[in-house]
Amino acid sequence: MTSDSEPTKATARPPASAEVLGRVVTARGRWLDEAVEVLSDNPLAAGVWLVGSLGRADGDGFSDVDLIVAIEGPVPAALRTHPFGGLGLPGTVLFVRPKPRNAPDGGAFLSVCLEMAGLPVLVDMYLWPSITVAVPTGSRVLMERGRMPRSKLGLLDLLALCPPTDTSGSDPDDPATLLLLVQLAAKYHARGDRSRRAAICNQLNIPDITIVEQLRHLLDDRLPTLWPASTAARTAVDRLFELVSTLGEGR
């Protein structure tokens, strides 16, 4: 029994959600610095820029990294098949999900989920041949060898000018698709973005959620049959669920 004179041990408390998100933002920025350093040393990389919310400087702790990498000359076939590993980019990869119809003609598109500060962070990579590439409006240039052309068009409008020959989508039976979609649903739930959350839930073939625990149950039901060995990815996504649940439910 502890006497009254003995000091009471402090009860461990979980870090505040703001602290967790702050660590993610720091890790995300560090990863970008490392990625740009790697690409700066690669003669194939003609330029790198951020698009999306981080490019516009209005992102938050849940923001994905949307990255365009301009490639000198035609993009080699091997690089189109394995853009992340082929460029030697850093990070702990949890899963990857290709979606050919999102790529520019002659290039590649890949969603890569990286572990950053213990949480899953999505990196959407566009490999774009330098002959057709331009910097979309609302972008932040991180590196370029010579000045790349600037455009008043946004990313989607620029992609529409360079449609790919392969118009296939992502594989709905790929476990990475399930993991990516639940991650997006959790992100929109945390932000209180009901319309986008409902759209993602529709892709998952479930009703719109009201608590993030519903996404956890969905993974419990579906993921083991698709990917029994998904321990690291599942653990990171579960941490995301825990974070979102601390931010308030029933949005």
Architecture of domain 17-161: 2-Layer Sandwich (3.30)
pLDDT one digit per residue (tens) for the chain, 251 residues? 333 333 333 334 445 788 999 999 999 999 999 999 999 999 999 999 999 999 999 999 999 999 999 999 899 999 999 999 999 999 999 999 999 999 999 999 999 999 999 999 999 999 999 999 999 999 999 999 999 999 999 999 999 999 999 999 999 999 999 999 999 999 999 999 999 999 999 999 999 999 999 999 999 999 998 888 779 999 999 999 999 998 865 44
Using CA atoms, how far apart are residues 222 and 36, in angstroms rounded to an integer?
37
Nearest to 144 by CA among 133, 159, 158, 160: 133
Overall pTM > 0.85: yes
- Residue range(s) occupied by CATH 3.30.460.10 in the chain: 17-161
